[in-house]
Amino acid sequence: MMFKEKVAEAYRQIQDSICGGLEVADGKAFFEEEIWERDGGGGGRTRVMQHGNVIEKGGVNFSAVYGKLPEAVKKAFKVENDEFFATGVSIVIHPENPFVPIIHMNIRYFEMDEQTRWFGGGIDLTPHYVIPTDVRFFHYHLKQACDQFKADFYSKFKAQADDYFFIKHRDETRGVGGIFYDRLKPENTDLSYDQLLDFSLAIGNSFLPIYTELIDRNRDKEYHEFNKEWQYLRRSRYAEFNLVYDSGTKFGLETNGRIESILMSLPPTAKWHYNAQPKPNSEEEQTLQLLKKGIDWV
């Protein structure tokens, strides 16, 4: 089996595991699957859950695509070759209860030839209401996953997440960060490609225990209409980031990806109130004060 096929098969298994675990955690809804093919080469499995006990809308997507890179992507990647292969798992979960956070994860592998290939990915948390104990739990487990491979991975990738998941036009972070990494290869990590695959899978396998714990902590909390309105406002920020800055969205659109799968990350309902401001000393204001870079959650 070629290395890229090994990666794709491992990512398929990650998708299966996470979908099964989320169905158990939700207890009501199931993922609907759509198999799709990409014009130009490859395809994937889009799986979406809607109207569950916990998950209002969630997607767990797998793709393995290949073909020729558009000129714009070649310039962005600073490569000369046309042929590419890319595989990955992409997840976004929008919960029903405003006290359960939005979560995103992406693990991916990109290859053009033996010399031009790398791993990328990330996982980040976007609470509608920042609950510090939940955020510390999230970051602690990400650090544990990173520390198995290199001592500096967590601090480096945490800082990169703070910078990446930043909404410049709002001057705030999308949420409470996580980790973000790109173009990992032996030359810049001192790890082999097999070790980098193990790291990618460790991040993928961390998703389910982390998120099911956060679901269990918050799924039964009472909420009111004003909490839902705040949730819709925070979702609008999420949508703004994904449509303006997200590199995965841009790559999918520029490589003729499947639109429904690419835009799966958008929330089912979001609102843009003109000049919305939280009440002083409210939970909403406290959340805004924690949407900034550089907080040491561990």
The catalytic residues are: 104
* Rounded-to-integer distance, Cα 14 and Cα 288, Å: 34
Degrees, nearest 5: CA angle 258-260-263:
105
Degrees, nearest 5: CA angle 91-92-98:
150
Kindly report the three-state secondary structure assignment for every residue of the chain.
CCHHHHHHHHHHHHHHHHHHHHHHHHCCCCCEEEEEECCCCEEEEEEEEECCCCEEEEEEEEEEEEEECCHHHHHHHCCCCCEEEEEEEEEEEEECCCCCCEEEEEEEEEECCCCCEEEEEEEEEECCCCCHHHHHHHHHHHHHHHHCCCCCHHHHHHHHHHHHCEECCCCEECCCCEEEEEEECHHHHCCCHHHHHHHHHHHHHHHHHHHHHHHHHHCCCCCCHHHHHHHHHHHHHHHHHHHHCCHHHHHHHHCCCCHHHHHHHCCCCCCCCCCCCCCCCCHHHHHHHCCCCCCCCC
Q: How many residues does the chain have?
A: 298
Max CA-CA distance within the chain? 60
